[in-house]
Every structure is written in structure tokens, then in C-alpha cells.
């Protein structure tokens, strides 16, 4: 899942006792990942041509809260309830403010992969969320269409790249134009960066894990990778570019194991599987469980053996150990809404002849409608689109 800064605009009228419409302000603020800066930095183009810089905290950006303003006509600057820009010289203040604003913008554009949205207008935080595609309104037809394994192949294969057949794929994720892979098995576990634009699926970087560790699921979290392990109850956070380990942590799940992990960037929480029917939700700050939801199949039976997972279109896509299926699970209710049959992607009897194992590995791509899928010890990664 790739996340970065966004430039969003909205209008707000200040609370002027005489003429509320007179001091109509236009704010442009930058939503920045929490790891870079909590909240957002914004500017206001004032009626008199001056510029006011201010910072929204994270809660204000997420909830849409706006701090009240009064207008101070003595110096032509808007005065916030919690402080005031007191500038003796208009020109000096304007130059300094513009310089700081430019530095902040350039820094985060480089550091966070800033993508400007020219002309994007948002009247509420709900519209900002809509820009980030956190709802299913953009995919209402897909959402409403029932899919079961009885419907046969309900996906389209777009392409295929080579994959190391010795990689016991446990986690697959995507960001910054590359695929990140967590490889399992004792003495063979590693973290890799793969080039999806190379037909050979070139390994751009690979870092071995300790011989007693069994790598499992992995997800992108802002400018980091978060990985879990099978039975050691240890997790690791890596720098997304160098793959240098920057933090390790301990965790608990229902089965005291780690299988799959994904990041719900709309709710800012991790979702974890452990082979049980449960989805475990972790706070991103503490890496501790806040709740868990029991998942069920379309049949009503518990969704056992939930394996690698990916957050996509507001839903959890899940592999199931020893089944060639992808479940589409509502993370709020745990109910499976669709079950895709992938038995014909690479039929089991064919892949077993070359030593390939189970279907496992789901990742988003730079095309919001396309996914990468693979398996353990598979010699290929497929790009597909779900019907």
C-alpha cells in the first residue's frame, strides 16, 4: 500500500463581527504522513494580500475541526485563538513566511514523495478521504456484484514476470514503483525488493534474516516496512529503501503466531492474521492489539487458515492456506463478501510437478485496479484484475 502527502484546498470564512463575507480565506494545506509530521501545514491568502502560515494538528485534520479566528484590523493579520503573528514589517514578514513555506514544501516533496493535485477542492475532511479512495463509492459496481467460487474464473490476467522459485513467499507488498517481498523458512528467510518492470523480476536488494527466524507477512507503513514472524512472536520495522532494521518489537495473537499483516491507511491501523479465523487490529503507535474480529466464509463457517492479506478498496483481501482462493472480507464485520476462485491461475497438479507450493501473496500495484499475486516457491508473479 503506497502513501504520501497530498495537497488539498478548502475555503473558510473568518468570524468577523461586521462583515463575515469580507474576510473570506482560502487555505491550501498539505496532509503529511504521521511519521514525517503530525497534522498539516497550511497557508491563508488574506484579503489585503498578505499570507498567514499555520499548522493543524492531526486530530483537526482527521475530524474536520477548525479553530475559530478573529480578524485584527490593526495589523491586517488573522489572529488565531492560540496565538498571533506579530510582524512589525509587512515586507519582512511576507518574505520570511514565503521562504519558510517554500522550504517546507520542497523538503516534504522530496522526502515524502509529494504529489500535487492541481485545482483539487475539498469542502470537508470527508472529501479529503474520498480523494484518498477510502470508500467504495468509486467501485460501487464491484462492491455490489456477488462473487463465489462457483462462478469460476472471475479475474483477468494482465501480465506475468519471473520470480525466484526458491523464494518461500510469505508477504508481498508494493510502494515507490517496486515490490517488497518477505521470504520464509528457517535459515532462508529474507526481505527483498523486486523490480516489477523487469520481465525477469530482478532482485534489486536482498537482506538475510537470522537463521532462527521464519519470515512471514510484511506491509508498507509510510516510509517503513513492518514484518512479522511465524512463531517467535517478534516483529521488525525496516527502512523502506535501505532495508536496514530500525526497530524490533514483540506481539501476541490468538494462536501466538504471525501469518499476514497489512496497513489500513484510512483508519491508521495494522491488520494481522495468525492462521485462526480472527483479524487482529493493532495500534500503529504502540503496536498493541486494540480489538479483533472473527471472520466468516460465505457459507457462514469460520474463515480458518487466513494467511497473507492486503488492504484494498476498503476491504481485506486474504489468501487461505492450502486453497487457491482470495477472500474479500469486510474488516468491520468480519463477513466475507466475495470468494474468488484462482484454481486455474496455475493449477496445482501442474505446479507440483516443478516443486511449487501453495497460492500465497497479494499486493496492490501502481494501477489502483491491478493486483500482484504469486505463491510459495512459484517461478512467476502474475498481475491480475478482479471482475
Stretch among 113-127, 285-299, 315-329 having the lowest mean pLDDT: 113-127
Digit-coded pLDDT (tens) for 200-250: 999 999 999 999 999 999 999 999 999 999 999 999 999 999 999 999 999
More confident residue, 265 or 166: 166
Sheet containing strand 155-162, edge to edge, reads: 155-162, 380-386, 371-375, 359-364
Residue 7 scores a pLDDT above 80? no
Do residues 292 and 279 touch, judged by C-beta distance below 8 A? yes
More confident residue, 20 or 229: 229
Task: Name, in order, each residue with C-beta under 8 angstroms of 127's C-beta and a sequence gap of 6 or more.
Answer: none
How does residue 158 score in pLDDT terms, banded at 50, 70 and 90?
Answer: very high
- What pLDDT, on the 0 to 100 scale, is given for residue 24? 36
Residue 110 scores a pLDDT above 90? no
- What pLDDT, on the 0 to 100 scale, is given for residue 295? 98
- Ordered alpha helix ranges (H), the chain: 58-63, 90-112, 125-131, 140-144, 348-352
Residue 87 scores a pLDDT above 90? no
CATH class of 137-386: mainly beta
How does residue 26 score in pLDDT terms, banded at 50, 70 and 90?
Answer: very low
Q: How many CA atoms, within 13 angstroms, populate the side-chain half-sphere of residue 156?
A: 5
Nearest to 307 by CA among 273, 344, 353, 356: 273
Stretch among 112-121, 128-137, 169-178, 262-271 having the lowest mean pLDDT: 112-121
Do residues 46 and 159 touch, judged by C-beta distance below 8 A? no
Digit-coded pLDDT (tens) for 280-318: 999 999 999 999 999 999 999 999 999 999 999 999 999
Three cell numbers at 185? 523458512
How does residue 267 score in pLDDT terms, banded at 50, 70 and 90?
Answer: very high
Digit-coded pLDDT (tens) for 327-383: 999 999 999 999 999 999 999 999 999 999 999 999 999 999 999 999 999 999 999
CA–CA separation, 372 and 367 (whole Å): 10
Residue 88 scores a pLDDT above 90? no
- Collapse the DSSP code of 32 into the 3-class scheme (helix H, G, I; strand E, B; otherwise coil) and give the result: coil
Domains of the chain, by residue range, sit at 6-131, 137-386
Please give the mean pLDDT across all residues of the chain: 78
How does residue 135 score in pLDDT terms, banded at 50, 70 and 90?
Answer: low
- What pLDDT, on the 0 to 100 scale, is given for residue 117? 35
- What pLDDT, on the 0 to 100 scale, is given for residue 3? 42
Residue 123 scores a pLDDT above 70? no
CA dihedral 21, 23, 24, 26 (to 10 degrees): 180
Residue 29 scores a pLDDT above 50? no
- What pLDDT, on the 0 to 100 scale, is given for residue 137? 77
Amino acid at each position: 500500500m503506497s502513501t504520501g502527502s497530498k495537497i488539498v484546498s478548502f475555503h473558510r470564512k473568518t468570524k468577523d463581527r461586521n462583515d463575515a463575507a469580507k474576510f473570506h480565506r482560502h487555505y491550501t494545506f498539505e496532509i503529511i504522513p504521521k511519521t514525517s509530521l503530525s497534522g498539516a501545514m497550511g497557508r491563508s491568502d488574506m484579503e489585503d494580500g498578505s499570507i498567514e502560515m499555520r499548522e493543524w494538528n492531526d486530530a483537526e485534520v482527521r475530524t474536520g475541526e477548525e479553530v475559530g479566528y478573529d480578524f485584527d484590523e490593526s495589523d491586517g493579520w488573522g489572529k488565531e485563538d492560540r496565538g498571533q503573528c506579530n510582524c512589525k514589517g509587512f515586507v519582512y514578514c511576507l518574505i520570511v513566511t514565503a521562504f519558510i513555506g517554500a522550504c517546507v514544501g520542497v523538503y516534504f516533496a522530496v522526502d515524502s514523495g509529494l504529489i500535487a493535485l492541481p485545482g483539487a477542492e475539498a469542502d470537508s475532511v470527508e472529501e479529503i478521504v474520498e480523494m484518498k479512495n477510502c470508500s467504495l463509492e468509486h467501485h460501487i459496481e464491484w462492491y455490489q456484484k456477488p462473487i463465489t467460487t462457483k462462478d469460476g474464473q472471475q479475474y483477468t490476467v494482465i501480465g506475468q514476470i519471473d520470480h525466484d522459485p526458491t523464494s518461500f513467499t510469505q508477504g508481498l507488498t508494493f510502494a515507490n514503483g517496486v515490490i517488497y517481498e518477505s521470504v520464509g523458512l528457517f535459515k532462508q528467510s529474507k526481505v527483498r525488493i523486486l523490480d516489477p518492470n523487469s520481465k525477469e523480476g530482478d532482485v534489486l536488494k536482498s537482506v538475510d534474516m537470522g537463521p532462527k527466524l521464519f519470515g512471514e507477512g510484511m506491509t508498507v507503513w509510510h516510509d517503513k516496512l513492518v514484518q512479522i514472524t511465524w512463531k517467535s512472536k517478534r516483529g521488525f520495522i525496516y527502512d523502506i529503501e535501505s532495508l536496514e532494521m530500525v526497530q524490533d518489537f514483540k506481539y501476541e495473537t490468538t494462536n501466538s503466531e504471525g501469518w499476514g499483516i497489512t496497513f489500513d491507511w484510512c483508519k491508521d491501523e495494522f491488520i494481522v492474521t495468525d492462521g485462526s479465523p480472527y483479524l487482529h487490529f493493532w495500534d500503529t503507535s504502540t503496536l498493541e492489539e486494540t480489538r479483533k474480529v472473527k471472520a466468516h466464509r460465505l457459507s457462514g463457517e469460520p474463515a480458518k487458515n487466513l494467511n497473507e492479506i492486503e488492504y484494498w478498496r476498503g476491504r481485506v483481501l486474504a489468501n487461505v492456506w492450502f486453497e487457491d482462493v482470495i477472500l474479500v472480507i469486510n474488516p468491520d464485520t468480519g463477513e466475507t463478501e466475495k470468494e474468488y476462485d484462482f484454481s486455474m491461475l496455475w493449477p496445482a497438479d501442474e505446479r507440483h510437478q516443478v516443486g511449487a507450493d501453495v497460492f500465497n501473496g497479494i499486493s496492490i500495484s501502481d494501477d489502483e485496479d491491478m493486483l500482484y499475486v504469486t505463491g510459495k516457491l512459484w517461478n512467476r508473479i502474475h498481475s491480475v484484475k478482479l471482475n
